[in-house]
A and B are shown apart, each in its own frame.
Chain A
Amino acid sequence: MRRQKAAPRVGKVWIQTACAVVTALLALPLLMTLLSSFMSAEELSVVYAEGESFRWIPYRATAESYFRLLFASETYLATFWNSMGIAAASTALQTGISLIVGYALAKCRFRGRDAVFYVYTLVMLAPYQVTLLPNYMLMKDLGLYNSWWALILPAAFSPLGVFLMRQFLLEMPDEILEAAHMDTSSNLRVLIRVVAPSVRPALLTVAALSFAECWNMVEQPLVLLEDAWRYPLSLRLNGLSGGAMDVRFSGAVLAMLPAILLYFLFENELTEGVRHMKL
């Protein structure tokens, strides 16, 4: 008995140790970025450029890089709102479209429904670079090249959200829909008044993932935008203040904040949504 109890305890310790190590490794870049953002440019050149061993704690902490980032140049603030606008619009559209298409693929019966779903799955699994050139040509033909709609519209029709919503809606009992259809014949009304409130965690999950994806997009604006002032933050981060290292670190820290805040805002819904999706 004692040996049997000791074995699971030892195994638990190993697992926890491994988890701690992995967590530390994952958290290390974030911690380095945060601490480096409070170092001066001179100190960073010593630590990074001259190859000295990494210094955890700044020798002389300073917020000068934040001042230069936020006050000395309007670039960061301008591109921040560029990113926010693109991400917000993409998220809103993708959430709505995902709900509608997911509902259709989960609850509506029509010929070719499964085929459509499989196509969605294949597109979702394919790397984005595969569709980049067709997207570019399409945006050119539509006259949307070098505009934010060139980023928003493809993101709005992303298959991942549809996939997630379908999976979540499959678990929804049909009786609820039947009861709703007794009150009204409009599918749209059923969708808005019955289905959407029921799948709120899933919607928030899709919104969060969509926001994170749009906030971090790099290749799409690089290909589909020409004017530098239209670029989102993810693309211009490296070039802030002439590429000064200290400004890049502080810019990275501030760029992380919206995604982090979004997670903490909808932490419970995200956890529930991922649990229900059975991925």
Chain B
Amino acid sequence: MNRKRAIRATVAFFTGMLLLTFCSRTIYRSTLETVEAQKPIGGVLTYYYTVREFSLEGDGEQGEYLPAPLSRPLTVERVYATPGEYVEAGESIASFSKPEGEYILSQARAGLRDATAEYETWKLQWTAQKAALEEEMGKAETPREAERLQEEMRVLLSGVLNGQSEETLLQKRAEAQSALSALEALKKADWTHRASASGTVCSVAVKKGDGYSGLSPIARIADGGITLKAELTGAPDTREQGWKQQASVQTNADIYAANVRDIRDGFAEIRLPEGVRASDVLEIRVRLDSPYRAALVPNEALRADEAFLLEASVGDWGQTVYTVRRVAVTAGGSDGQYTEITEGLRSSDRVVVRSTAELSDGQTVSIEGYK
């Protein structure tokens, strides 16, 4: 290497080292990941829930139904009532298929005729049998025979003949009559079931196209107070003493405070405020405050069961160098914003809450804010 090149190389080397000495820190800091850290806060977990879907339960709830079983399902043509709606007595709940209804009605009439004929036949047979037995009893030659005939008469007088009882046949006829009456009443109402009393529709069990077989409720209507039942996913059980719970319902007009009972199995029961109709409720908001204070960290600070702690040390030239250290923590409940830490953190630890990129254990970082 000739002298000039050697001189240039030497000058370049030392110039480079000088520049690095003054600029490397600035350059390096620009390459560091930036993190935001804060100390755990002591507080209560607060859970917020907003639900728009809920079911209704009412005081004095009664079912609306056809009081007789149908020989075949009756197709629901249209459903007028919706849960939460207030209906007056006589308002339509659901309408059924007219042709099917006529057919079932004719079958019910035939059924009544059959039941009546069956009973009449049985009655005639019973009367004849009784007369015959009476005649035989008069002609009985031996005590044994007389005893047998008396026994037969006793069974006959109890209303049983050929394994059939009068009571059963009468009940059958009554049921057929009842079904016919219900169907005739339904026909009279133009095959539309109407509310028997005023109240709030809590639930509707049928929908268009369903087959209805009678006796089961078409809808349930309550004339007393209404309770809204909502599922709060992940909600803690608040039967433990000390939980504070608040609820409000929002309608088009306003927001109303509501009473809420203890949360059980993830369900909340909120009493509908007076003056508010269930059909007006747009959404329910529930707030739960845990009864105990705990060390809380923002949810973003946790990665599975680990967190990164910020550690400060003194660098070679007296400056503060920040590194992150991975620690295992035991997390408790979370309210969606904060998570309780039961083990692994001290109050003086600074937990990395946010970072610009994935961190690794022992990585040097720069901090954005420190609380």
Contacts and interface: CB of A to CB of B under 8 A. Distances in A.
**Chain A complexes with chain B:** yes
A73 B249 CA distance: 59
Contacts of B6: 261, 264-265, 267
Interface stretch (A9-17, A77-85, A126-134, A187-195): A77-85
Contact of B17 (A71, A77, A264, A268): A77
Contacts of A78: 316-317
A257 interface: yes
Closest 4 CB pairs of A and B: A71-B28, A264-B6, A265-B6, A261-B10
Contacts of A257: 13
A71 B27 contact: yes
Interface string B4-38: 01110110010001001100110110010000000
B139 interface: no
A265 B3 contact: yes
Contacts of B7: 265
Interface residues of B, number: 20
A174 B21 CA distance: 49
A197 interface: no
A70 B20 contact: yes
26 contacts: A70-B20, A71-B20, A71-B24, A71-B27, A71-B31, A72-B28, A73-B315, A73-B316, A74-B25, A74-B315, A74-B316, A77-B17, A77-B20, A77-B21, A77-B24, A78-B316, A81-B17, A81-B21, A262-B10, A264-B5, A264-B9, A265-B6, A265-B10, A267-B1, A267-B6, A268-B3
A75 interface: yes
Nearest to B20: A70
A278 to B, nearest CB: 26
Contacts of B31: 71
B364 interface: yes
Nearest to B22: A77
A73 B317 CA distance: 10
A229 B318 CA distance: 11
Per DSSP, are chain A's interface residues mostly helix, strand or loop, or mixed?
helix
Interface string A43-80: 00000000000000000000000000011111101101
A258 interface: yes
A80 B14 CA distance: 11
Contacts of A264: 1, 5-6, 9
Interface residues of A, number: 19
Interface in B339-366: 364
Given A77-B21, A78-B317, A261-B13, 11 more contacts: A72-B28, A74-B24, A74-B315, A78-B316, A81-B21, A257-B13, A261-B10, A262-B10, A264-B9, A265-B10, A268-B3
A258 B317 contact: no
Contacts of B1: 264, 267
A3 B317 CA distance: 72
Contacts of B9: 261, 264
Contacts of A80: 17
A73 B31 CA distance: 13
A81 B19 CA distance: 13
A77 to B, nearest CB: 5
Contacts of A72: 28, 364
A262 to B, nearest CB: 8
A75 B24 contact: no
Nearest to A71: B28
A72 B17 CA distance: 15
A265 B7 CA distance: 6
Counting chain B CB atoms within 10 Å of each CB, the highest count among A257, A261, A267 belongs to: A261
A258 B13 contact: yes
Q: Which of B5, B7, B24, B31 has the most CB of A within 10 A?
A: B24
Contacts of B27: 71
A72 B28 CA distance: 6
A75 B317 CA distance: 8
B210 to A, nearest CB: 67
A201 to B, nearest CB: 14
Interface in A234-279: 257-258, 261-262, 264-265, 267-268
A34 B32 CA distance: 28
Contacts of A75: 316
A75 B21 CA distance: 10
Contacts of A267: 1, 6
Contact of B316 (A71, A229, A262): A229
Interface in B105-125: none
A264 B6 CA distance: 6
